[in-house]
Amino acid sequence: MRKPAFLCHPPERVFPFLETGMAEAEFFRKLRQAQLDRLRELRLALHRAAVHDIEEIESLVRSRYDRATADEISPFDSYRYILFGQVLLLRDATGRLAACVYEAGYDHPDRPSYLFRLIVRADMESLGLGTLLNRLSLALAYERGARSRNALVSLDNPRSLYVHLNKVGSYFTDLLEVQLPGLANHLVSSRPITIETVAGNLIDDQKSDAMLETGAGTTGLKLVHTQDISMLRELMRHQGYRVVAVARKSISVDGAMLILMPTHPVPAC
């Protein structure tokens, strides 16, 4: 699904290596290389986690989540995904853990990629590591044979929503309200891993912020606060809307304004 063109960057502005008619395999190879080049510029080392990294990963988890949430995250999850998925770690020049991302794939016919637990150390947030790791994991998933990407993000984590929606091109299609600890009020994303969905759905923050100031007007889009669960439920479950962006200026400890579009096409401005 394409997001409204009047909210998005031209693909070539974000990915200068993108060429007309480029094969998808070539695009994802260059996407991977671009992220690795950026890591070298930042003097960050990338490696796959091993079991002996679990204790350090758990320390990073506890530094970024409140105690109740962190207590719900079992070290056994790390153990399983280190053995049967892939856990990517970034370390700074001193060897200290800077960020991590978990990904798992399953032997279904479409070989989906499941991405979760994208965590960046607080003092490293301004470097764009969440976007970098997300794009890198997309490229690696494609090379491994995955052709779809699934993700689950809490409505209480607007910064993660911002990375997924504005920086990586995801869109969220369902609201998860399962009454289990840590699972209520999450947004669910499932999309193809293609050039179109990765390069063509990146939100221009200035344009999305302008919507926050002027309102959706006649665009056919809706603005909804992350904590307005009843309105999100109505739009997503009953009216067929999808969450496509975050208004960046609204991101705060109190949540953010989400931009939703209907499943039928929105005319370009």
User: Residue 219 has what pLDDT?
Assistant: 83
Average pLDDT of 104-117? 72
Average pLDDT of 84-112? 85
Cβ(7)–Cβ(203) under 8 Å? Answer: yes
Q: Which amino acid is at 257?
A: M
Position 103 confidence tier, pLDDT thresholds 50, 70, 90: confident
> Is the confidence at residue 79, as pLDDT, over 50?
yes
Position 107 confidence tier, pLDDT thresholds 50, 70, 90: low
**In a 10 Å sphere around its CB, with 0-12 CB exposed, 13-18 middle and 19+ buried, how is residue 188 labelled?**
middle
Instruction: List the Cα angle 117/120/126 in 5-degree steps.
Output: 140
Taking only the tens place, the pLDDT of each residue in 199-255 is 999 999 999 998 888 887 778 899 999 999 999 999 999 999 999 999 998 887 677
User: Residue 181 has what pLDDT?
Assistant: 66
User: Residue 108 has what pLDDT?
Assistant: 59
d(CA 103, CA 85): 6
Taking only the tens place, the pLDDT of each residue in 42-76 is 999 999 999 999 999 999 988 888 777 777 777 88
> Is the confidence at residue 187, as pLDDT, over 50?
yes
What is the residue-averaged pLDDT of the chain? 89
Instruction: List the Cα angle 145/202/174 in 5-degree steps.
Output: 70
Position 84 confidence tier, pLDDT thresholds 50, 70, 90: confident
> Is the confidence at residue 268, as pLDDT, over 50?
no
d(CA 161, CA 226): 10
User: Residue 178 has what pLDDT?
Assistant: 73
Average pLDDT of 176-203? 86
> Is the confidence at residue 144, as pLDDT, over 90?
no
Expressed in percent and rounded to 5, the helix, strand and coil fractions of the chain are: 45, 25, 35
Position 269 confidence tier, pLDDT thresholds 50, 70, 90: very low
